Amino acid sequence: MKKLLAPVLAAVVALASPAIVLADTLNAAVAANFTKTIEEIGAAFKEKTGHEVKFSFGPTGKLYAQIKNGAPFDLFFAADTDKPEMLVKEGLVKEGSYFVYAQGVLALYSPSLPVKEGYKDVLGKAEFAHLSIANPKTAPYGAAAEEVLKKLGVYDTVKPKIVNGESIAHAFQYVQTGNAPLGFVALSQIVDPQSPAYGKGEYWLPGQDMYAPINQGAVILKRAENNPVAQQFIDYLRSDEGRKVIERYGYSIP
């Protein structure tokens, strides 16, 4: 009898012990432009707490559709504010969890063309084969790029040469692989020391008055409203440690 009770008692003691903390795993849907940034924050969070966040990256519009269709995400980090706000109105998020976590910065980047000072000349002549931008219908960075081109008065000139990436990550990939000699990308993609674009080529930053602010909103989804680890991750991302990482990757925090 004692032999039978021993493992049962051991299990009860283990569950009751405050020293035993079970790690939790969260699933987060994240806009493609924030990939490197949130991966670093997630790794630091896991090291500090033992809890893991698994990320699924993609264009904001597509992630929103997946969430609407019941995808099992706990957190949503969008590249805009529209989609998180829509989820709030639809009652699919934890009440009061919405906030703007970063503001994206758009950059015209080329490994080979003189876009830093000569962006008007390069875009105006349009002597390149392709100009890469994210899909303006689903990706906020694509909409911003389109807005800049129209403000410069070159949209009609370059329109036949525009290739749309599904997301800002794909738009950047087109430039990196040489399929497009230049493209509008996220500043975070070229200032990351681990990026293949770091220290190569030239980039130009359109003035903030040339496109609507790319405020990026986040929410805790209804599925995780009672999960304390979800709030714990949000708190870490908003802490001084998290903010430093976000700013280092080329974002501002409004």
In a domain, 117, yes or no: yes
* Residue 201 in this model has a pLDDT that exceeds 50: yes
Do 154 and 63 lie in a common domain? no
Do 223 and 200 lie in a common domain? no
Domain count, the chain: 2
- Mean per-residue pLDDT, 166-173: 92
In a domain, 254, yes or no: no
Dihedral pair phi/psi, residue 18, rounded to 5°: -70, -15
In a domain, 139, yes or no: yes
Mean pLDDT of the chain: 90
Do 179 and 116 lie in a common domain? yes
Q: Which range has highest mean pLDDT (82-86, 165-169, 186-190, 249-253)?
A: 82-86
Q: Which parts of 159-237 fold into alpha helices (H)?
A: 168-176, 188-191, 228-237
pLDDT at 146: 98
- pLDDT tens-digit profile of 62-90? 999 999 999 999 999 998 999 999 999 99
Instruction: Assess contact for 8 and 193: CB atoms under 8 A.
Output: no
Closest to 131 in 3D by CA, of 183, 166, 60: 183
Which domain CATH number covers 128?
3.40.190.10
Do 221 and 96 lie in a common domain? yes
Do 23 and 81 lie in a common domain? yes
Do 8 and 94 lie in a common domain? yes
- Mean per-residue pLDDT, 164-191: 94
User: Which domain covers residue 34, as residue numbers?
Assistant: 2-103+213-248
Boundary (domain end) residue, out of 204, 225, 240: 204
198 or 147: which leads in pLDDT: 147
Q: How far apart are CA 99 and CA 77, in angstroms?
A: 10
pLDDT at 197: 85
- pLDDT tens-digit profile of 87-111? 999 999 999 999 999 999 999 999 9
pLDDT at 23: 62
Do 96 and 42 lie in a common domain? yes
